[in-house]
Structure 1
């Protein structure tokens, strides 16, 4: 269409939605509802996130021909509905064309699929392994939508220059980028910096749409935004919330500009991590169909934070806390656990584990005769607790929440088939020092979408007292581990930053301590392989990011 007859305004609805992997019909229904709302808002076009019909990331599910067929059928069905004169649609799905399977976005309008564009840059690092799933698409040209030429670089296509350069050369006027970009701390700033670089290079305004919601260990934070052609922020959508926002773009003197976008505040740092933990647990429980959760409430800081997250995610009526005391459980722990449960308003039961522990010791007495008592007997306590929690789960259906932090899982300070039992761990990627910070934060701040109460939900004494597993008389974590501030600094160096041992020693850490922590880190790999999944909040979590061999004799001797 000649520029003189093209419209001067284009209203674009941004569907920051929460799809579920594999729920093609459910995702289609979400798309229908959002398109209807977009029509009510007067939109010309509604944009959905990357692989929306499939859910993201579909992993190897996307290789199933039946899955590909179902996604394509849903797309065709949705396309037929666009003959009603309502908004056009740009929606993501896997697209099979002969031998090639691509990560694609389809333009639906006038009752049919008008055109398809394919992702060119396939990420193959960290949590991404798209090169083993998809074929790279050809460099794309713009998509004509109601007389405006729109470029649609898909997610990773924004992270290099080539795709956007091609779109500029072929006449794109506005860039619309559908994304499935998972959260980790600082990611929002990184996305905006990358997007700003493409805007500066191209001279085109850009819309960055991200999905929201939890999928296994990944949390997608939304936080969609737009940039004007001069690189300034055109609009900012909320993080961790589903939204449909219609923004009007107007062309003046050949330049498209957004004049009416929202400017939501996006949480950062600890507040963002807390909201990610809440959303990750909420969606894991909800999307898997559990009626609620059960967890052991020990009177310690980790289980208290997990209980607060669970209540904020699900509501107090879906959270069951159980104190599982033994002879080493202090009266202080009993009081602290009860106070935490009361503050959160959850069901709270006490199940003494001594009969179970004595029964296990009795069963082993013949084999253990003459052997000194050691950590074996301590671990029987943890395993008895794990068995009781799993029994509650089996009988009544709630998922067991496991409560170990990243510091403990790094060095193996956890018991297989004991306190590691559970279906999901909301604090798996939080170091112990951050657990303390998030407890203090939650006592002073309640997220807007939290279902829990205002005010102090983690008793101050739980935060202030010395951490202990209470598996023997007068035990504290400091008996086995360095102070957590020191331990976490070393672990961040070894795990998150892959630093050399010599670098950490040069930074002032005690050499013997660093080498001991490195040894424990490697030895605990077999435990981590058997740990429950949990929310990713750092750039390098255990599991999807950091994949180390269990059999491993390497030590950094430099």
Structure 2
């Protein structure tokens, strides 16, 4: 049964998943013409509100223009700016959007460079600039005073008594993760920006009203500055700068606007535009909160700077977000969070992961004094990549590749294709290669167990599968004992997450495992990268490509007599494309299943995102919401209930990415007897279709 349309719209509204749509405006201005500037600003506010934004930010001194110089001390201009503010304030009465504009403002017989925070006809607060540049082309100390020198904590403005000061936070009560702080231009260029203390005080959205003339190389530095400040503060950072209309007497202006979230760029404006323009971004407020919870040093910093944090005042506001309309997420959500979509970044990621795995294996062999490895080679992805890492490790240690003792061990369901691939792979790599038929020893085990298969009865149950898997592992460990070698594990992160590994056997247990924190989707690209980056040639390259095109299967149950179909891993546990997506957002951020489903729906509703021409399966997989929910239910059930006991005792393995690992020593700890009830209940909120 499909969900009620109201539920569908609720699910599709980004605000119900702790996102907020935010905007930065760059209006065309006229110098010392506040009425014109207010009109241009007002148009952009209306457009921002129509676009679903809950916050819009404008440049420094935008109502007057930044380049007024000594005109700032003319009463006519200052009166005109207050009148312009009144115009913008009046226009805001019917708009559910927080607006922040810049203007010069008199207080305590002094002049301040200020940001006015407005909402629905109310001035929520006035924030004066703290740091005034007075070097190079800047002469702000000639006209303005620092906010630190202000005497008043409130000002009377346009008939309202308004909080005044640089230590103000603006907090929508109906959006608990949304807390705004404002600083102005030079404030963020200082060693310790005011926004750093604001973040410690709880601000998750940091706003900078800037003018910032353009010089060669400055644009790139702004990117670095904003990116790093958002990353250090674990926050979203909005940056505006002045554009067309500012004085060109001695300077030029490019109107660059930026939005960053925890170091990641969400949006950037066109530079040197002659027209007023806006940029939008949907920021994940919960992500910022989760990062602060996870990074304990953030909380320690709050304690260290408790005196500065305690000085902040909070101004509450009811944002009145409409949560019942359908407001889809307007943000690129990568289908493959472990694998960059950009080819260059993807290759760099593969190079780094590969190097981490190789270095870790070299260290383990060096420290143990052992110079040989035993490896089960199935002709599938995981053992293929482990063999590639082992070969590179031997090369770096100056040891022959024949020190890798490769064994392929066909059982009752081993296909001719994978068996052939295993032999071709070992031959092309140059390791020692041997085939051991495990069927006789498995038959003895079936006989000892009294299993029907020993009597020729085809009972393909869990025991039938596990006897084969266990027999392979038993051989590998005894071979390692006999040869004075380490057993190299092959199981990957995705299998550990889903519990898709037999306890104590090769995809679970080994002396050392190089793959345990690498998800299946990344393994796939690592193998392709080795094939295409010149690391191998000839038949080695071709066999790697053939392995990539092979159905992922444990090959423990014979192919269907009726259809010839082989045992499919993904038919049992869901597509790895989706399961790795589920794993990333569950493990890295702790998001609830309903939000993971929302993100997955966004990722797979865009047919261009993550579609790489060299990956035909990517183009084929366009998951609908019902499939997303069904696969997520499998993930929740397997991850949170019944699989942790396998993860608690995994062998040593290097952690390769910030996306997390499941080693209880390196990253993830949970009780082995936990329940999945709350996660399944949250998943039930997701409709079957929208």
Scaled by the length of structure 2, the TM-score of the pair is 0.41
Match of 2:7? none
Cα distance in structure 1, aligned partners of 2:454 and 2:232 = 70
Match of 1:520? 638
**Preserved CA contact (<8 Å) 2:446 2:454:** no
Match of 1:547? 669
Match of 2:504? 417
Match of 1:376? 463
**Preserved CA contact (<8 Å) 1:339 1:459:** no
Alignment partner for residue 325 of structure 1, among 410, 414, 423? 410
Cα distance in structure 1, aligned partners of 2:351 and 2:649 = 29
Deviation of 1:313 after TM superposition, in Å, equals 0.8
Deviations 1:127-172 (A, max 9, x none): xxxxxxxxxxxxxxxxxxxxxxxxxxxxxxxxxx99xxxxxxxxxx
Cα distance in structure 2, aligned partners of 1:414 and 1:396 = 26
Cα distance in structure 1, aligned partners of 2:232 and 2:462 = 56
Uncovered stretches (5+) of structure 1, i.e. residues with no partner: 1-160, 163-188, 199-264
State how 1:321-400 maps to structure 2 within 5 Å. 321-365=406-450, 373-400=460-487
Matching of residue 537 in structure 1 with residue 537 in structure 2 = no
Give the number of aligned pairs.
302
**Preserved CA contact (<8 Å) 1:344 1:453:** no
Matching of residue 269 in structure 1 with residue 387 in structure 2 = no
Uncovered stretches (5+) of structure 2, i.e. residues with no partner: 1-195, 198-223, 234-344, 396-400, 560-566, 602-624, 683-690
Cα distance in structure 2, aligned partners of 1:551 and 1:526 = 8
Matching of residue 278 in structure 1 with residue 358 in structure 2 = yes
* CA 1:518–1:197: 2 relative to 1, 3 Å: closer
Deviations 1:366-408 (A, max 9, x none): 8999996511111100000000000101111110011011111
**Preserved CA contact (<8 Å) 2:406 2:434:** yes
Cα distance in structure 2, aligned partners of 1:369 and 1:396 = 32
Deviations 1:171-228 (A, max 9, x none): xxxxxxxxxxxxxxxxxx99x959x989xxxxxxxxxxxxxxxxxxxxxxxxxxxxxx
Deviations 1:303-325 (A, max 9, x none): 01100110001241321110000
Cα distance in structure 2, aligned partners of 1:511 and 1:353 = 39
Cα distance in structure 2, aligned partners of 1:493 and 1:528 = 19
Deviation of 1:299 after TM superposition, in Å, equals 0.8
Match of 1:428? 516
State how 1:216-235 maps to structure 2 within 5 Å. none
State how 1:65-144 maps to structure 2 within 5 Å. none
Match of 1:86? none
**Preserved CA contact (<8 Å) 2:578 2:631:** no
Match of 2:588? 496
Cα distance in structure 1, aligned partners of 2:480 and 2:501 = 21
* CA 1:283–1:416: 2 relative to 1, 3 Å: same
Alignment partner for residue 492 of structure 2, among 378, 392, 405? 405
* CA 1:342–1:457: 2 relative to 1, 3 Å: farther
**Preserved CA contact (<8 Å) 2:443 2:454:** no
**Preserved CA contact (<8 Å) 2:374 2:406:** yes
Three-state SS of the structure 2 residue aligned to 1:548 is coil
Three-state SS of the structure 1 residue aligned to 2:496 is helix
Cα distance in structure 2, aligned partners of 1:512 and 1:197 = 38
Cα distance in structure 2, aligned partners of 1:397 and 1:446 = 33
Deviation of 1:266 after TM superposition, in Å, equals 13
Deviation of 1:518 after TM superposition, in Å, equals 1.1
Cα distance in structure 2, aligned partners of 1:343 and 1:317 = 12
Cα distance in structure 2, aligned partners of 1:395 and 1:363 = 26
Cα distance in structure 2, aligned partners of 1:552 and 1:499 = 18
Match of 2:546? 461
Match of 1:297? 377
**Preserved CA contact (<8 Å) 2:661 2:668:** yes
* CA 1:197–1:381: 2 relative to 1, 3 Å: closer
**Preserved CA contact (<8 Å) 1:308 1:458:** no
Three-state SS of the structure 2 residue aligned to 1:486 is helix
**Preserved CA contact (<8 Å) 2:487 2:510:** yes
Cα distance in structure 2, aligned partners of 1:550 and 1:399 = 28
Match of 1:485? 577
Cα distance in structure 2, aligned partners of 1:392 and 1:446 = 33
Three-state SS of the structure 2 residue aligned to 1:348 is strand
Matching of residue 306 in structure 1 with residue 386 in structure 2 = yes
Question: What is the root-mean-square deviation of aligned Cα atoms in Å?
Answer: 3.3
Deviation of 1:478 after TM superposition, in Å, equals 2.2
**Preserved CA contact (<8 Å) 1:353 1:385:** yes
Say which is worse superposed, 281-290 or 385-394, in terms of deviation. 281-290
* CA 1:538–1:356: 2 relative to 1, 3 Å: same
**Preserved CA contact (<8 Å) 1:343 1:457:** no
**Preserved CA contact (<8 Å) 2:379 2:421:** yes
Cα distance in structure 2, aligned partners of 1:302 and 1:366 = 30
Cα distance in structure 2, aligned partners of 1:551 and 1:520 = 12
**Preserved CA contact (<8 Å) 1:383 1:418:** yes
Cα distance in structure 2, aligned partners of 1:471 and 1:443 = 28
Deviation of 1:459 after TM superposition, in Å, equals 2.5
Scaled by the length of structure 1, the TM-score of the pair is 0.50
Cα distance in structure 2, aligned partners of 1:497 and 1:361 = 45
